[in-house]
């Protein structure tokens, strides 16, 4: 299911895992495994149009033509800390990728992001692909700020991958960054008065790292 620039994965394998992640009784170990699995599904969908080049290859039976990924530089950019929970899965499918990090702390009163750390390779010529990861797209503040920082560094090809998204966050992101595609596993109902996604799955960072 696709919105303006937002793709919501609509697949029983994804829905099954999202349901298990929502369950408050799911322990951290299983929760992390589910996050990894759903992230792999997101990566599969988000990277359909990676640049490739044709090469000759000899199988045990015959010579044929094959394709190899031909991207000069791919940078995975998790938003600290919860986005780190998606990093292993991303490196599993893109083991040659570089990694940058952006630190954002949420102001609990305003729900706006407070940047506190940034370590991202600068873009060289705009051909690089940056993939931002963060489990929750709630108000959209952190995601929008992260993408704005990457654009200032010269990145022109950016994608944002997340697990659960609120309509408010999707709307803000599409308004501020209409050129950046979003891939999410579930589009939920709304934000509550504390700016948590409903029904959501709670604080993803706490559940990933077992700091409840």
CA 212 to chain centroid, in Å, comes to 23
Of 7, 73, 98, 206, which residue is the catalytic one? 206
Q: Which two tokens stand for residue 14?
A: 């994804």
Of 22, 73, 156, 203, which residue is the catalytic one? 203
Of 51, 110, 190, 211, which residue is the catalytic one? 110
Q: Is 203 a catalytic residue?
A: yes
Of 98, 106, 156, 157, which residue is the catalytic one? 106
55 class by beta-carbon count within 10 Å (0-12 exposed, 13-18 middle, 19+ buried): exposed
Contact yes or no for 76/87 (Cβ under 8 A): yes
Q: Is 206 a catalytic residue?
A: yes
- Comparing CA positions, the residue from 122, 131, 125, 152 lying closest to residue 75 is 131
β-pairing verdict for 197-198 and 190-191: antiparallel
Which amino acids are annotated catalytic?
106, 110, 203, 206
């Amino acid at each position: 299911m696709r919105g303006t620039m937002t793709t919501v994965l609509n697949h029983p394998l994804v829905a099954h895992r999202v349901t298990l992640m929502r369950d408050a009784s799911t322990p951290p170990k299983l929760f992390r495994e589910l996050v990894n699995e759903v992230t792999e599904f997101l990566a599969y969908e988000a990277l359909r149009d990676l640049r490739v080049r044709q090469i000759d290859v000899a199988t045990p039976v015959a010579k044929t033509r094959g394709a190899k990924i031909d991207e000069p530089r791919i940078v995975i950019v998790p938003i600290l800390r919860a986005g780190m929970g998606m990093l292993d899965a991303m490196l599993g499918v893109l083991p040659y990728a570089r990694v940058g990090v952006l630190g954002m702390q949420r102001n609990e009163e305003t729900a706006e992001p407070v940047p506190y750390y940034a370590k991202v390779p600068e873009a060289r010529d705009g051909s690089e692909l940056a993939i931002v990861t963060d489990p929750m797209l709630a108000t959209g503040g952190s995601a929008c700020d992260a993408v704005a920082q990457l654009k200032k560094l010269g990145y022109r090809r950016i994608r944002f991958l997340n697990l659960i998204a609120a309509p408010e966050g999707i709307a803000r992101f599409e308004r501020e960054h209409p050129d950046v595609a979003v891939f999410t596993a579930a589009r939920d109902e709304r934000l509550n008065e504390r700016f948590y996604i409903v029904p959501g799955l709670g604080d993803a960072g706490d559940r990933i790292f077992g700091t409840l």
